Chain A
């Protein structure tokens, strides 16, 4: 150790790293070739898997778009508002709206992890949202991730168990009718005290908010919908739509849209969130937020 270095002067470490890697070489051609070969195989496998998931997603969108989502887990009669925003209300506790549940053979090995680093997650969230709402703009990209959550002032707020991975991102969407916050959270649902792998609508966690409806999907996931939830705050009534998918391999992906640019201490900018349930369902189901390790 060189005692002349101040604690923040890392000139020695900088030089040491450069010097140590100067002679580092490897067979890049072989590694690139093998990566391309594995990539091709993985894309083929994903295409085959997507064919199965697509059936469930199409069915879900049809349900949400045509019928809306009713309270207490019941599908409403054809909704007056075909955008899926009008028919749902907060109501009694969740029940068991659908019947299909995954068989034991559908158990999927836990082989996936986050597809994106946190800052890329915000970028991808913005791209996915603006693809659904052409002409809209996004701003205030914010991310957080496992290990540390940051406060608005930049202080470390919490240190979480590293075995309970999560990452999230939020953006503010402006479609010309007022700013609307959109958040995305990806987490190990077992680690955050939820249902773990192989969820079913019959085994929802106790803390599931009233008015949440649940649907079992054919791939072993469940889809939770909470539409037009309201919360009275000093600044006004915050209205939010939330869609959550809990996957068979134990991951949770949740998307929320609000009628304000932030969850708290923000001006209410519109009467309803910018994204309706169908938008949020696409958001949690379509992009590859998780990736095979």
Chain B
């Protein structure tokens, strides 16, 4: 039988991961915490269903996505993307986060969700489609369009390891940019 103890164990085990996904979806810490809390509240209410699901983690993630997208649509009539974005600092890591969030803010809730699932949760297009009620073809199309939209907004000065692209090396002697 499902118990409150089970819920708390599950919630503690997955809250951090849900929080990171929520942060990418919402773009700020407070909204991310609210989203996780709303999600966990719904899971608590329907805990028996969660335990019956084939994949409770997938169930939890789907609940969060549903909450996020529904919430954005309810607020869509009163909120508009802001033109005011945080100032860029002389810190590449900070700038890359600001640029990422700024770029994601230009997307619809659905497209933002698709990118987060595809590239943060490492889900395949069919899996994303299954989670959002879309075909994998629609997911691919939206992914391509969303990437094309955000790429111009991402920082040039961010080059994490393992990308296979040359990082800026301004101090390297004897090297010409030409």
Contacts and interface: CB of A to CB of B under 8 A. Distances in A.
Interface of A: 1-2, 4-5, 7-8, 10-21, 24-26, 28-29, 31-32, 34-36, 38-40, 42-43, 46, 113-120, 123-124, 127, 143-148, 150, 154-156, 162-163, 165, 167, 288, 291, 293
A1 B144 contact: no
A21 B26 CA distance: 13
A42 B41 contact: yes
Nearest to A34: B37
A5 B136 CA distance: 22
Contact of B62 (A1, A4, A5, A120): A120
Contact of B46 (A20, A32, A288): A288
B133 A145 contact: yes
Given A13-B119, A165-B70, 11 more contacts: A5-B151, A14-B119, A17-B100, A31-B37, A38-B41, A38-B44, A39-B40, A113-B70, A120-B59, A165-B73, A288-B46
Nearest to B53: A123
A42 B165 CA distance: 51
A5 B132 CA distance: 27
B77 interface: yes
B37 A167 contact: no
Contacts of A26: 19, 29, 32-33
Interface of B: 4, 7-8, 11-12, 15-16, 19-20, 23-24, 29, 32-33, 36-47, 49, 52-53, 59, 62-63, 65-66, 70-71, 73-74, 76-77, 93, 96-97, 100-101, 110, 115-116, 118-120, 122, 130-138, 143-144, 147-148, 150-154, 156, 158, 160, 162-165
Given A7-B147, A127-B52, A17 B12 contact: no
Contacts of B130: 119
A249 to B, nearest CB: 14
Nearest to B162: A15
B115 A1 contact: no
Contacts of A156: 138
A28 B33 CA distance: 9
27 contacts: A1-B151, A5-B151, A10-B143, A12-B165, A13-B147, A13-B150, A19-B93, A20-B100, A21-B24, A24-B23, A26-B29, A28-B11, A29-B12, A31-B19, A36-B8, A36-B40, A39-B41, A42-B44, A43-B45, A120-B59, A120-B63, A154-B137, A156-B138, A288-B46, A291-B45, A293-B70, A293-B74
A117 B132 contact: yes
Contacts of B119: 10, 13-14, 17
Given A12-B163, A26-B19, A150-B135, A17 B37 contact: no
Nearest to A168: B133
B100 A36 contact: no
B145 to A, nearest CB: 9
B75 to A, nearest CB: 11
A15 B122 CA distance: 11
A190 B71 CA distance: 19
Contact of A150 (B71, B76, B93, B134): B134
B12 to A, nearest CB: 6
Contacts of A40: 44
B97 to A, nearest CB: 5
B89 to A, nearest CB: 14
Contacts of B42: 39, 115, 291
B118 A1 contact: no
B11 A25 contact: no
B138 A16 contact: no
A161 to B, nearest CB: 10
Contacts of A148: 134, 138
Contacts of A154: 135-138
Nearest to A291: B42
Contacts of A13: 115, 119, 147, 150, 154
